[in-house]
Amino acid sequence: MTLDSAFRTTEEHDLLRETVRALADDKIAPRAGEIDETGEFPWDVHQALVQSDLHAPHIPESYGGAGADALATVIVIEEVARACASSSLIPAVNKLGTVPLLLSGSEELKAKYLTPVAAGEGMFSYGLSEPEAGSDAAAMRTRAVRDGDHYVLNGVKRWITNAGVSRFYTVMAVTDPDQGARGISAFVVEEGDEGFSVGALEKKLGIKGSPTRELYFDDCRIPADRMIGAEGTGFKTALATLDHTRVTIAAQALGIAQGALDHATGYVKERKQFGRPIADFQGLQFMLADMAMKLAAARQLTYAAAARSERAMNGAADPELTFMSSAAKCFASDTAMEVTTDAVQLLGGYGYTRDFPLERMMRDAKITQIYEGTNQIQRVVMARQLLK
């Protein structure tokens, strides 16, 4: 296996970073603590992102989107996450929910659903996991039974990010229980569909401004033309989607880690003990150096995976995308957990309080090691790719 997936940032990428960072510093960072405290979805941040066309930058121009490439989308998510991890899930989850359409949807389905998302008229969530089907997603039990020109869905989806605030949902359901993973199909469900409802808010450690709820399907009837791709191809689409969107979780982890490093660096230059700034002490310098080194490595891996993702979305076969996306997600999220933990340590008692954002960043970082496949599962995926 070769790992030489070259990427190249352009002047446009650099300008985009400056634009997003300015917006994040002005509109998002001042709200991050309050968003975490209240646990309310930040509609004002959503509106600010919509106004700047940063809420779903990956959607092609043909559907009214910005047409950002995968690396540009990574930069958007990274810079928003540097200020507020919850807010970064607006562009990240919009991509997660819509990539199945981009990969497998009919032209009619794409036009119908990508256009309102690009216009900021609705967000798109993704329903794969279930109470008894987490890492073993193929064990799902949600059923979709054909009834004339409709499908009738029954079942439960769990851990659905932005559930209740999203207008649209990509949902995986079993259409042929005798076919195993090949009997799973993908559908678009709308918030107002009869028989569809969402559960109570999960009480979480972090990303509190992004609601997580269950989805309930109780004889939920949807038109048959809302199937994404052919019947029985849903699980294949789900896995292909994750190859692209694990890169966005890596981007979120990068942003959280960068925000923590920035705050910790500023603090140690100002904080004095024993008559001088604590930044003068070699032990703390080594901690900062290790944090920055790991973050730089994670960024290079993530950007390289994004380059592969972009080529694959444009139709170029890339057998190493699965390895690279899993490696980026795994390494970047492990790095984010290490960097935020060390950042809290550098601030000492202050890092443990809500007077500084480090404890929030540390809590937010943890989820990046868990969702879109735990890091244990990422290592399984990577090993299988190596041993093929």
Q: Is residue 2 part of a domain?
A: no
- Name residue 227's beta-bridge partners: 187
User: Do residue 245 and residue 373 come from a single domain?
Assistant: yes
Q: Is residue 5 part of a domain?
A: no
Find the CATH number of the domain harbouring 185. 2.40.110.10
Q: Is residue 6 part of a domain?
A: no
User: Do residue 111 and residue 63 come from a single domain?
Assistant: yes
Residue 308: φ, ψ to 5° = -65, -40
> Which residue range forms the structural domain that includes residue 375?
235-387
Domain count, the chain: 3
User: Do residue 144 and residue 207 come from a single domain?
Assistant: yes
Active site residues per annotation: 372
User: Do residue 225 and residue 272 come from a single domain?
Assistant: no
User: Do residue 162 and residue 113 come from a single domain?
Assistant: no
User: Do residue 93 and residue 148 come from a single domain?
Assistant: no
Last residue of a domain, one of 118, 144, 164: 118
Q: Is residue 253 part of a domain?
A: yes
| pTM for the structure as a whole | 0.96
**Which conformational region is residue 65 in: left (phi greater than 0), alpha (psi within -120 to 50 degrees), or beta?**
beta
User: Do residue 222 and residue 244 come from a single domain?
Assistant: no
User: Do residue 105 and residue 206 come from a single domain?
Assistant: no
Find, among 365, 372, 338, 366, the residue nearest to 81 by Cα: 365
User: Do residue 221 and residue 301 come from a single domain?
Assistant: no
Find the CATH number of the domain harbouring 258. 1.20.140.10
Last residue of a domain, one of 232, 247, 270: 232
Give pLDDT tens digits along the chain (388 positions).
Answer: 343 445 788 999 999 999 999 999 999 999 999 999 999 999 999 999 999 999 999 999 999 999 999 999 999 999 999 999 999 999 999 999 999 999 999 999 999 999 999 999 999 999 999 999 999 999 999 999 999 999 999 999 999 999 999 999 999 999 999 999 999 999 999 999 999 999 999 999 999 999 999 999 999 999 999 999 999 999 999 999 999 999 999 999 999 999 999 999 999 999 999 999 999 999 999 999 999 999 999 999 999 999 999 999 998 889 999 999 999 999 999 999 999 999 999 999 999 999 999 999 999 999 999 999 999 999 999 999 999 8
User: Do residue 195 and residue 74 come from a single domain?
Assistant: no
User: Do residue 185 and residue 243 come from a single domain?
Assistant: no
Q: What is the 3-state secondary structure (H, E, C) of 142-203?
A: CEEEEECCEEEEEEEEEEEECCCCCCEEEEEEECCHHHHHHHEEEEEEECCCCCEEECCCCC
